[in-house]
Structure 1
Amino acid sequence: MEASTLQPRRLLEDLCALDSTTGREAALLPALLPALEALGARVEVHEFSPGRCNVLATWGEPRILFSTHLDTVPPFLPPRWEGGTLFARGACDAKGQIVAQLLAAEALRESGVAWLGVAGEETDSLGAQEALTWKDRFRSCRALINGEPTELKVATGQRGVKNLRLRCTGTAAHGGSPELGHNAILELLDWLEGVRRIPLGRDPDLGPEVWNLGTIQGGEAVNIVPDRAQALLNVRTVPGSSFQARVEALRPTRGEVDLLVDEPPSLYPALAGFDRAFMPFGSDAPCLRALIPGLAAALAGPGSIRVAHTENEHLTMQDLAAGADLNLRLARHFLQEQP
């Protein structure tokens, strides 16, 4: 790539020095807005609740849309350098994506490009939903390139998400006379034991179906037979999944299943000349691709999900430069295709 007016190392450190954990995304504006203005972008900030905002930067009539998220998971970890590596919360997820995408956008300014930073990807994806109000800005867009730490590979897609709540009701009784009650926790545990034996699917592009028992709650006191219990399951589904149906088939008489989140799997196109891999995480790409008339999307970026959300989160400057190059090559690939 040609020399940039940005200072990538300084910009990444400045972004990581600001605490933008979910709900505080607007805290990035003091570092982000000057960088966008230095690139000559037309900038719009949509603050949809106190401290929360989306940022849209455009250069001409956009034909490529770069996007990533402004928020990070807690706790805030300030930046520190070890040689050419920056350790910080958000170093690769996703403040490093911001810098890599802006470097690519700078090289494409004469071609028509946009960059979108959204709030809430780590929790409620509210920013991505709010961003759909800007859909009329992208009528000429060929593709969305969404930034996440994919180790410089292009994602084959992403698994769907189902959050299930399993509830059991019982009958309360004195703990000294458990035969007079019906223990909701024990019934829930029996149900979960059956769930653990459910065979899981596998998709050639998206990898294995997996699920996690995230929380389990029940009862009031140690000397009361519990009359209610619940468990929350997070399921990463593949096409053709039968997991929810099998859970419901195992439901005990006093059990109920509530579907709290239901996002279908998404597949992204294979692109000639780019390495592909399935990713174990989700992103805002399935929602944001609705901004593009043809729904074309790619999910890619520098850094590794293996260190994201950890105390060891980091990004090397070599990876950052490679990520900028990858974003530029992806954009040029889509620009060269026929509409």
Structure 2
Amino acid sequence: MSATPAVDRDEEFAFFRGLVERYSPSGNESPARDYLLEHLPDMGLDVSTDEVGNVIARTEGDGKEVMLTSHMDTVPGEIPVRVEDGDLYGRGSVDAKGPLGSMFAAASRLADTDADVTVVAVVEEEKSGMGARHLTDRREAPAYLINGEPSGWDTVTLGYRGILRFRYRVTGEVIHTAHPGVNAIDDVISFWEAVRGLQDLDEGFDALTATPTEIDSESDGFELRSELRGNMRIPTSNSVAEIRDMVKKVETEHKGDVYWGESTEPVLVERSNPVVRAFLRSVRDEDGEPGLSAKTGTSDMNVFAERWDCPMATYGPGDSNLDHTPNEHIGIDGFHSAVDVLEGVAEDLSTA
């Protein structure tokens, strides 16, 4: 669907830029939340918040509900917002205020139609997935779901690897450094080497990988405690339970204990599902050549797929290689193209 003459792209971009200008790292989303609550009613959307601070905007159509959801939080590290050579620079411009801003703009275009569109800006995707988990705990699944993450305006993401977070802790007697022996730090290092040995040699989406995220040690002069935090990225050939069993087997060969953190299963949807098909049509309608991808990271789509049984896919403008980088920026033309595509998809799915 092409944009109608009534569409004001300058206003849509100004709204998006304003959202990027509200720096909102995980746990401090209030600048972005307040901005949305102020501006979305003027865009023709009914707006509310829930108990954890997710922002929920709706049209008043009576078609099948299409939910578009992305996150308003970013990783830390403020980047001065500027436009340069057709790109908008700023923290979150790609991950994921570009997808989120395009979703709100598309819903605004459909505010006076029969399309039933809900857009949810969730909190703490970068930290814990708490916003998406709360959303799925409090309501039933929509007819169709579109998760927002950068894939490029002409590409649809079908899947993500899962993730299992854990920590390994061991406490032992202090050993004089002049004497032979294995202390708690030695044990943590040995444990992690064994966990790394579980990795696949494959690369990309189909690989099982292990990454340490933090390690520390402390001593009171009598005991030495050492702790490592890490995660495993899980391909669709494995489940969270299988990876836990593998890590637990490593644990039995060491002195410490494993404690589990948050986890989500991997997800991969069929390219034949109606959400994916709608995107392929809409990208072609905008003279694009649609592509399909699967990502090596993890997103809220994993949470939604675990808890909701409805057709879904992930989509959004921006180059995901710029996620979390000091050079994060998004092409302005790509943002506008994504709004056009999302407008067509949401109308197609809701009113068909």
TM-score (norm 1): 0.85
User: After superposition, where does 1:274-285 map in structure 2 within 5 Å?
Assistant: 274-285=290-301
Q: What does residue 231 of structure 1 align with? A: 228
Q: Distance in 2 between matches of 1:247 and 1:303?
A: 36
Select between 267-276 and 112-121 the one with higher mean Cα deviation: 267-276
Identical aligned residues as a percent: 26
Query: What letter corresponds to residue 95 of structure 2 in structure 1?
Result: D
Change (3 A) 1:107 1:207: farther
CA contact (8 A) 1:16 1:78 kept: no
CA contact (8 A) 2:149 2:316 kept: yes
Q: Distance in 2 between matches of 1:26 and 1:95?
A: 14
Q: What does residue 211 of structure 1 align with? A: 210
Q: CA deviation at 1:27?
A: 1.1
Does residue 148 (structure 1) correspond to residue 164 (structure 2)? The answer is: no
Q: What does residue 263 of structure 1 align with? A: 264
Q: What does residue 80 of structure 2 align with? A: 78
Deviations 1:91-119 (A, max 9, x none): 11122112211222133331121111111
Query: What letter corresponds to residue 151 of structure 1 in structure 2?
Result: G
Q: What does residue 248 of structure 1 align with? A: 248
User: After superposition, where does 1:52-91 map in structure 2 within 5 Å?
Assistant: 53-60=53-60, 61=62, 63-91=65-93
Q: What does residue 318 of structure 1 align with? A: 333
User: After superposition, where does 1:1-339 map in structure 2 within 5 Å?
Assistant: 1-2=3-4, 3-5=6-8, 7-46=11-50, 48=52, 53-60=53-60, 61=62, 63-109=65-111, 110=113, 111-132=115-136, 134-135=138-139, 141-152=142-153, 153-176=155-178, 178-179=179-180, 182-200=182-200, 206-220=205-219, 227-241=224-238, 242-251=242-251, 252-270=253-271, 271-272=276-277, 273=280, 274-288=290-304, 294-332=309-347, 334-335=349-350
Q: CA deviation at 1:336?
A: 6.7
CA contact (8 A) 1:72 1:122 kept: yes
Q: Distance in 1 between matches of 2:190 and 2:126?
A: 32
Select between 315-324 and 328-337 the one with higher mean Cα deviation: 328-337
Q: CA deviation at 1:83?
A: 2.9
CA contact (8 A) 1:81 1:87 kept: yes
Q: Distance in 2 between matches of 1:253 and 1:234?
A: 18
Query: What letter corresponds to residue 24 of structure 1 in structure 2?
Result: N
Select between 148-157 and 235-244 the one with higher mean Cα deviation: 235-244
CA contact (8 A) 2:195 2:210 kept: no
Q: RMSD over aligned Cα, in angstroms?
A: 2.7
Q: How many residues align?
A: 324
Select between 65-74 and 319-328 the one with higher mean Cα deviation: 319-328
Query: What letter corresponds to residue 248 of structure 1 in structure 2?
Result: K
Q: CA deviation at 1:290?
A: 7.3
Q: CA deviation at 1:277?
A: 0.6
CA contact (8 A) 1:161 1:234 kept: yes
Change (3 A) 1:182 1:65: same
Select between 270-279 and 315-324 the one with higher mean Cα deviation: 270-279
Q: Distance in 2 between matches of 1:185 and 1:25?
A: 38
Unaligned 5+ runs, structure 2: 281-289
Q: Distance in 1 between matches of 2:299 and 2:226?
A: 31
Query: What letter corresponds to residue 42 of structure 2 in structure 1?
Result: A
Deviations 1:131-154 (A, max 9, x none): 236525x6xx32111111112321
Q: CA deviation at 1:201?
A: 7.5
Q: CA deviation at 1:159?
A: 0.9
Q: Distance in 1 between matches of 2:120 and 2:170?
A: 44
CA contact (8 A) 1:39 1:106 kept: yes
Query: Match of 2:22, SS?
Result: coil
Query: Match of 1:198, SS?
Result: coil
Change (3 A) 1:26 1:227: closer
Query: Match of 2:297, SS?
Result: coil
Change (3 A) 1:29 1:169: closer
Query: What letter corresponds to residue 300 of structure 2 in structure 1?
Result: D
CA contact (8 A) 2:159 2:295 kept: yes
Q: CA deviation at 1:36?
A: 1.6
